[in-house]
Amino acid sequence: MTTHNEFDYPNGHLLVDVPWVETNLGSTEVVLLDVRAKGYDAGHIPGAIRLDAKLFKDHSQPKFASADTVKRMLEQSGVSDGKTVVVYDEGGGVLATRVFYVLEYYGLKDQIKLLDGGYTAWSAAGNTISTELPLVSEGTLSVSVDNRRVVTQKNIQDGLDHSLLLDVRAWEEYTGADQRSNLKGGHIRGAIHKEWKEALGPKDENGVVRFKNYRSLQQEFEAAGLRPELTIVPYCQSNQRGAHTYFVLRLIGYSDVRPYEGSWDEWGNAEHTEAVT
């Protein structure tokens, strides 16, 4: 079984594997968050707390949920300053990386880790599955906005120095062939395309999807035109897939990644934006 250490990826501390979770299960310094869309009641990693990833976005406008909302949700889940937070979804999806991104935006940088392979990896390893609701001791958390982790429509229209727009949607969305429910199809002028899921390896014999190795990821992003000295601006439709790419670029050592939170939800439906097909 593949295991990760800090030498596999420049920021390997952001990723943990099943043996790491086994070792740290029950630790009072680790909070496990299950952010799958469904399945928690049927079985989860023992001690994991259910959290709805959709609550991290303000669905009335293309913005994050408020700092107060995020702080309250996390404290009610037992998150405190200094504690390590491990987030998982099914594995191979975008919910865990979305939560990772929002929490880093709210100042919890390097405090959040992702379980590589997610719940599928835990289950495939034959580990204990629980249906019990864990007892949670409410946490005490400081939350602060880190605006160096996001760009706005205005930032893009005003022009970003030393930056690269990265469209991580499907190719058909990028070209405008698939307009979805947006008023406009296509992409932002100058954006290059690299679909988010290309960062993932194929399913193994147990159906587990893990991230590609460091060397592959590094070479593939560089081949697409990314450079570590640039500000990388991922976007998709609602910044779920963009947040996945944010995580992957953080993992492989890119130091300035700022997703466009409004993404095509905003750009493709705004009055004064240009869509290139």
Q: What is the pLDDT of residues 133-157, one digit of tens each?
A: 999 999 999 999 999 999 999 999 9
- CB–CB of 8/17 below 8 Å? no
Average pLDDT over residues 116-134: 98
pLDDT digits (tens, 9 = 90+) for 185-244: 999 999 999 999 999 999 999 999 999 999 999 999 999 999 999 999 999 999 999 999
Average pLDDT over residues 89-99: 97
Kindly provide the b/e burial profile for residues 122-154, where b requires at least 16 CB atoms within 10 angstroms of the residue's own CB: bbbbeeeeeeeebeeeebebebeeeeebbbbbe
| 109 pLDDT above the threshold of 50 | yes
pLDDT digits (tens, 9 = 90+) for 34-71: 999 999 999 999 999 999 999 999 888 878 999 999 99
Is CATH 3.40.250.10 the classification given to domain 12-124?
yes
Which residues, in sequence order, are CB contacts of 28 under 8 Å at separation 6+? Answer: none
Q: Do domains 12-124 and 148-267 have the same CATH topology?
A: yes
- CB–CB of 132/47 below 8 Å? no
In the chain, the largest separation of any two C-alpha atoms, in whole Å, equals 54
| 29 pLDDT above the threshold of 90 | yes
Between the CA of residue 15 and those of 3, 83, 97, 106, 248, what are the distances in Å?
Answer: 10, 16, 11, 19, 10
DSSP H/E element including 215? helix 214-224
Among 62-66, 119-123, 155-159, 245-249, the minimum mean pLDDT is found in 62-66
| Nearest residue to 123 (alpha-carbon basis) of 90, 92, 99 | 90
Domain boundaries, the chain: 12-124, 148-267
Residue whose pair of structure tokens reads 């160096």 in the numeric block: 148
| Nearest residue to 104 (alpha-carbon basis) of 214, 256, 265, 241 | 256
| 123 pLDDT above the threshold of 80 | yes
**What's the pLDDT band for 6 if we cut at 50, 70, 90?**
very low
| 24 pLDDT above the threshold of 80 | yes
| Residue 157: exposure state from Cβ atoms within 10 A (0-12, 13-18, ≥19) | middle
| 27 pLDDT above the threshold of 50 | yes
Q: Could you say which architecture CATH assigns to the domain 148-267?
A: 3-Layer(aba) Sandwich (3.40)
| 1 pLDDT above the threshold of 60 | no
**Region for residue 118 given its phi and psi (left: phi exceeds 0; alpha: psi -120 to 50; beta: otherwise):** left
pLDDT value, residue 59: 80
pLDDT value, residue 276: 98
Q: In what order do the strands lie in the sheet with 84-88?
A: 15-16, 112-115, 84-88, 30-34, 49-50
- CB–CB of 224/218 below 8 Å? no
Phi/psi of residue 192, nearest 5 degrees? -95, 160
